[in-house]
Amino acid sequence: MNLDIVCFNIHKGVGWGVHKSTIHRIKHQIHESHADIILLQEVRGAQFEFLASELWPHFSYGRNAVYQKGHHGNAILSKYPIIYSDNIDLSMTRYERRGLLHSMVQLPGHHRVLHLLCVHLGLLAKDRRKQLDIIVRYLENNISSSDPLILGGDFNDWRGYATKPLINHFGLQEAFKLCKNKYAKTYPAWAPVLQLDRVYFRGFSVVSANRMTKSPWRNLSDHIALNVLLNIE
């Protein structure tokens, strides 16, 4: 069974360079992708329900930041039933709210559940190290080592620190590193040089891993979206 995954920091539905809403174009593009699972970061308020529409009847949302005019966080959209969700606060300061959204999905024809984790880590290296420690403890305490798992999101990890603990503790692999021998450059969208976004997995083989760099994708956010095709073993 193949699973088509899109991972995308949507920048609250605002395009880079100009403060114009791109949320309708984001909806069109992710619908055109026909992906099975969508992992989203920087989703503002009810945007996740608008994006899910009729194509992804199952979704979860983890609120990270709350402010006067609303809130934003991570979201998971799924074609398959979500049977459990939890949101883990990864915030190190009140000024930079971050989180890990964990959802369990029941795949058709499989007795094991699939764990989906959507994450947004901090901008400072010292904060990311602490956040990764929290993630490692959470995975150890809440997910069986035999269960398939996908962990994707905006790691803000241009120094490549994240991979070592995830591989050493849980045997995860990163889709682009495995397919192309390097992480995907995803930021800034107009001339990507930083490798911020990742899709890690366990219990799958990777079929393909691609950046969504062509227009109109590259004009929708300040990040490039990732598209990964996995085959469950």
pLDDT in tens, 61-114: 998 877 767 788 999 999 999 999 999 999 998 888 999 999 999 998 888 899
Structure tokens at 69: 């005019």
What domains does the chain contain, in order, with CATH numbers? 2-232 (3.60.10.10)
Average pLDDT rounded to a whole number, residues 199-217: 96
CA distance 64 to 60: 13
pLDDT tens, position by position, 135-152: 999 999 999 999 999 999
- The confidence score (pLDDT) of residue 159 equals 86
Among residues of the chain, what percentage have pLDDT more than 90?
Answer: 77
Which among 175, 156, 162, 150 has a CA at the least distance from the CA of 228?
175
| 98 contacts 91 by C-beta, under 8 angstroms | yes
Q: Which of 11-20, 183-192, 222-231 has the lowest mean pLDDT?
A: 11-20
- The confidence score (pLDDT) of residue 45 equals 84
Which among 97, 107, 101 has a CA at the least distance from the CA of 36?
107
